[in-house]
Amino acid sequence: MRKPVIAANWKMYKTPAQAQEFLQAFLPLVANHKRDEILLFPSYVDLSVAIAATKGSNVSVGAQNMHYAEEGAYTGEISPSMIKALGATHVLLGHSERREYFGETDEIINKKLHAALHHGLTPVLCMGETLEERDAGKTEEVLLRHCQEALKGVVPHAAESFIIAYEPIWAIGTGKTATPEIAGLAHFHIRTQVAHLLGRQTADRIRILYGGSVKPENACALLNQPEVDGALVGGASLDPQSFAKIVKY
């Protein structure tokens, strides 16, 4: 049995004071919730506040990105050790917004993945196709490529704690959600590919989350798909009531 993961990606929203305010409202709403793992990905500047506020709670905190180098002259970047030192446990890697606006390639994401594992940070590896790729019938091919490239050199036992997020780019922030069937099939392709690369046992353990316009209204149908092991929520995670409803789908 894979424990579902419900994760909030706050993207470039919320100041530390707003993060604090969110957590004051949100934590009591999910205090006794044990069925799902709850993850929060605030911006770098909110990490300290979020980590302090969630200490001893059932909510874990991760970073939205990181550099792969240990340290160095990389102005504006944050290293795995810096994130780890704050007490973060997870890191989002390869989000489509990083790929699209900041030139992240599968090769860079692969380096980050290795760095995350080296530092004991659990990676949440994001992948998904564009609308053009879907319309051209290339979804499976794109997911296969993302898996092959991002997972290069990863050994099966290191990958079991991994989380993958399937986020079709056409569904992100558009209000257009993948149908549960579309999500289920894409997750099946990803798991099949992971089994091919890292073995069946690892593939059966990896949690694959769906992301793209998840809302309290559609969470249940998506999360009831057997291949869907959770959700990565953007817009609807910014409000404590709305995110709590999704957690309790």
**Alpha carbons 54 and 77: distance in angstroms, whole number:** 25
212 binds ligand 13P (CB under 6 A): yes
- The catalytically annotated residue of 37, 97, 129, 167 is 167
102 binds ligand 13P (CB under 6 A): no
Q: Is 214 in the site for ligand 13P (CB under 6 A)?
A: yes
Nearer to ligand 13P by Cβ, of 133 and 167: the residue is 167
- Comparing C-alpha atoms, which of 84, 99, 91, 98 is closest to residue 41? 91
- Residue 238 interacts with ligand 13P (CB under 6 A): yes or no: no
Measure the N-to-C terminal CA separation of the chain; round to a whole number of Å: 18
| 77-104 b/e (C-beta count within 10 Å ≥ 16 → b) | ebbbebbbebebebbbbbbbbbbeeeeb
Candidates 46, 104, 167, 229; binder of ligand 13P (CB under 6 A) is 167
Which one from 37, 67, 90, 95 is the annotated catalytic residue? 95
211 binding ligand 13P? (CB under 6 A):
yes
Listed ranges 51-59, 109-117, 198-206, 234-242: which one lies at the site for ligand 13P (CB under 6 A): 234-242
Tell whether residue 117 is a contact of ligand 13P (CB under 6 A): no
What are the φ and ψ backbone dihedral angles of 91, each rounded to 5 degrees?
A: -150, 135
